[in-house]
Amino acid sequence: MFTVGSGRFVRPDGRTEQLDVDQWAGDPDLADRRLFLDSCTGPTLDVGCGPGRLVADLARRLPALGIDESREAVRQARSRGAAALRLDVFDPVPGAGQWDHVLLADGNIGIGGDPVRLLGRVRDLLSPGGNVLAEVSPRGIGIIRDERRLWVDGRYSSPFAWAVVGLDAIEMVAGDAGFEVGSIRSVAGRHVASLQVA
């Protein structure tokens, strides 16, 4: 699984959104470097690490851990040399309160369908003065909450709760979770907000 080609997210009404599996499961690209990797200077937790493209790169130069609920994703991340655990972010996470950076790449601010709850949990994982790097959608999206399935390699996943947060909603979501937006960086059509505890 997670090898080549493309997959898609399938929403309850049947609408789909493409997932570029090659990009997601490949090596970090220039946008990944500028938006995430170059900003990490200390211990980093990658929440929803997938096949490990970011956490494996980080592990070459600093303490880094990836967590994901997918057994296959964790296997692939480990095969790249990353430390990765099969965990739900709401389970006990090693190093809680000691992570300088928490990554929510690839829209993972939507994990669980409640971005405010997720950020509240992430706040407990951060070290004092740490930050969250959260990839968000373009302006005009607002917040979308729904249930989705993932279609990859000819198979559907089980349904899961998901949310999409747009640039126009990140300040409100962050504020409701006790964060403030420090900066927003955009590269190649992707957008990442740096969040600090308010």
Q: Is residue 48 part of a domain?
A: yes
Q: Is residue 24 part of a domain?
A: yes
Domain containing 21 equals 6-89+97-197
pLDDT at 18: 82
Percent composition of the chain: helix, strand, coil (DSSP 3-state, to 5): 25, 40, 35
Q: Is residue 1 part of a domain?
A: no
Q: Is residue 133 part of a domain?
A: yes
Q: How far is CA 40 from CA 24, 64, 92, 102, 182, in A?
A: 19, 10, 23, 9, 15
Strand boundaries in 27-142, DSSP class E:
44-47, 64-68, 84-86, 99-104, 126-136
Give the C-alpha separation, 128 to 131, whole Å.
Answer: 9
**CATH number, residue 142:** 3.40.50.150
pLDDT at 2: 53
pLDDT at 162: 95
Categorize the per-residue pLDDT at 22 as very low, low, confident or very high, splitting at 50, 70 and 90.
confident
Using alpha carbons, select from 160, 168, 121 the residue that is nearest to residue 143: 168
**Residue-wise pLDDT tens digits, 162-198:** 999 999 999 999 999 999 999 999 999 999 999 999 9
Categorize the per-residue pLDDT at 50 as very low, low, confident or very high, splitting at 50, 70 and 90.
very high
**Residue-wise pLDDT tens digits, 56-70:** 999 999 999 999 999
Higher local confidence (pLDDT), 190 or 2: 190
pLDDT at 151: 84
Is 81 a residue whose pLDDT tops 70? yes
Q: Is residue 34 part of a domain?
A: yes
Q: Average model confidence (pLDDT) for the chain?
A: 94
Q: Is residue 84 part of a domain?
A: yes
Q: Is residue 114 part of a domain?
A: yes
The set of residues, in sequence order, having a beta carbon less than 8 Å from that of 60 and lying 6+ positions away, is: 81
Written as six digits, the tokens of 108 are 């993972």
Is 35 a residue whose pLDDT tops 70? yes
Categorize the per-residue pLDDT at 7 as very low, low, confident or very high, splitting at 50, 70 and 90.
confident
pLDDT at 6: 64
> Which stretch, 5-9, 97-101, 145-149, has highest mean pLDDT?
97-101
Q: Is residue 37 part of a domain?
A: yes
- As for how many domains the chain has, the answer is 1
Is 152 a residue whose pLDDT tops 80? no
pLDDT at 99: 99
Higher local confidence (pLDDT), 82 or 7: 82
